[in-house]
Chains A and B, each alone.
Chain A
Amino acid sequence: MSVFRRAVWPRVLPLLLAALLLPPASADSKIHIEDVWVRSLPAVSKVNSGYMVIHNHGDAGDRLLKVRSDLAGEVEIHKSEEVDGHYRMQRVPGIPLPAGSCTTLQSGGYHLMFKGMTRAPAVGERVPIWLTFESAGDIRVDAEVRPVGSIPTASAQANGHHHRH
């Protein structure tokens, strides 16, 4: 009995824990989300942004419609754009996710805007976010709080390497 316990539990326990801790991914969901993160910002900041990669492996398009998180009073879906060296950001009603597409929410492009931050999460913390999709319904993801630092931006990719005026 004791031999059985010693041999099996170390293998089974991590699996059980993982099953309990991982977000409940519905087996038939065609939406797959990865690389979910928010930036560590100071406590004086009342706003923040969220980023992720959303895959739609399905044969039909879907749409990200709504987001909520305990981290902020409101979470809106925004899009930043650089037009002639001028950044503008606006709220969008949702993010279209065509069939078979991969959509990156990143700085300078689509992103989540957290308004009215309730607290400043610490680096390394994982913060739950609930995403509502038109077809796939509600999916919970855990955003990793990352330190400030250089990150790829949409404009960096669009511009190739650099431009100097």
Chain B
Amino acid sequence: MINKGMKIGTVCLLFWLASFEATAALPVLRGLGGDFSAMSTLGREVGPADFQGQPVLLFFGYTNCSDICPATLGHLAELTGDDEVAVQVLFVSVDPEYDTPAHLKAYLAHFDPGYIGISDRRERIDQIVALFQARYDRKGEQPLSTAYKKLKVKKTDGDGSLAYLYSHSAGIYLLDKRSRVRATYFSGTPIAQMRDDIQALNDE
């Protein structure tokens, strides 16, 4: 009888420890994220309030980024291609002059039509960048940075618009159902890990 009680107690203790571990694994990352509102590929402004009740993966990039951004989007497309994974992807463009909402929408749809792009006035983008303690650089505006190179892309459509190369933060932010940042990833984070974390947030 005592043994049985001890066994039950041990099992309960283990469960309690396991649940504690689950919470501890995705602590709220204070100081990251916050409220914003900006124009999106949905044709209206969106902000964290629009995604209450569902986890969000947010990251920064731009469509003239030929390497890391499409690699990250492809990586996430493999994650979100699984219907069991309930998460909203938000792609915040750091090149809003080039990435108009219509352009961004056509670009993102290639990866997953459900992805939402954010492109707005530079000040609004900068505000989101600051909220997530991210950063980006473009040549000509921050002469001290060493990381980027301006280039003029040869346009075949003759509209004469300029394209730039940016360097930018690589992080992918996982927001919970209350828009609190709970984890950060990068383009090489295993899909299984992100899937498990998203599941844990959906179960909260």
Residues of A within 8 A of B (CB): 39-49, 73-74, 78, 80, 82-83, 85-91, 107-108, 111, 113-118, 148-153, 155-157, 159, 161-165
Given contacts A85-B170, A108-B187, A150-B74, 6 further A-B contacts (CB under 8 A): A39-B70, A74-B154, A90-B148, A116-B153, A150-B78, A157-B188
Q: Does B41 interact with chain A (Cβ within 8 Å)? A: no
Q: Does B14 interact with chain A (Cβ within 8 Å)? A: no
Q: Does B111 interact with chain A (Cβ within 8 Å)? A: yes
Separation of A157 and B78 alpha carbons in the complex (Å): 19
Stretch at the interface among B5-13, B121-129, B189-197: B189-197
> What B residues does A74 contact at CB under 8 A?
154
> What A residues does B147 contact at CB under 8 A?
83, 86, 88, 90
Looking at B66, B156, B163, the one whose CB has the most chain A CB atoms below 10 A away is B66
**Total residues of chain B contacting the partner, CB 8 A:** 47
Residue of A nearest to B112 (CB): A148
> What A residues does B189 contact at CB under 8 A?
156, 162
Closest 7 A-B residue pairs measured CB to CB? A156-B188, A88-B147, A116-B154, A88-B167, A42-B110, A73-B154, A148-B74
Q: Give 1 or 0 for each of B54-75: 1 = CB within 8 Å of chain A CB.
A: 0000000001111110110111
> What B residues does A153 contact at CB under 8 A?
68, 71, 187-188
Interface residues of B in 138-166 (CB under 8 A from A): 147-149, 151, 153-156, 163, 165
Q: Does B180 interact with chain A (Cβ within 8 Å)? A: no
Separation of A42 and B107 alpha carbons in the complex (Å): 6
Residue of B nearest to A50 (CB): B66
Check if B168 sits within 8 Å of A86, measured CB to CB.
yes
> What B residues does A165 contact at CB under 8 A?
29, 184
Check if B67 sits within 8 Å of A113, measured CB to CB.
yes
A and B contact pairs by CB, cutoff 8 A, 20 listed: A41-B70, A45-B107, A46-B64, A46-B153, A46-B156, A47-B64, A80-B67, A82-B170, A86-B170, A90-B165, A107-B68, A107-B187, A114-B66, A115-B151, A150-B191, A151-B71, A153-B68, A153-B187, A159-B186, A163-B186
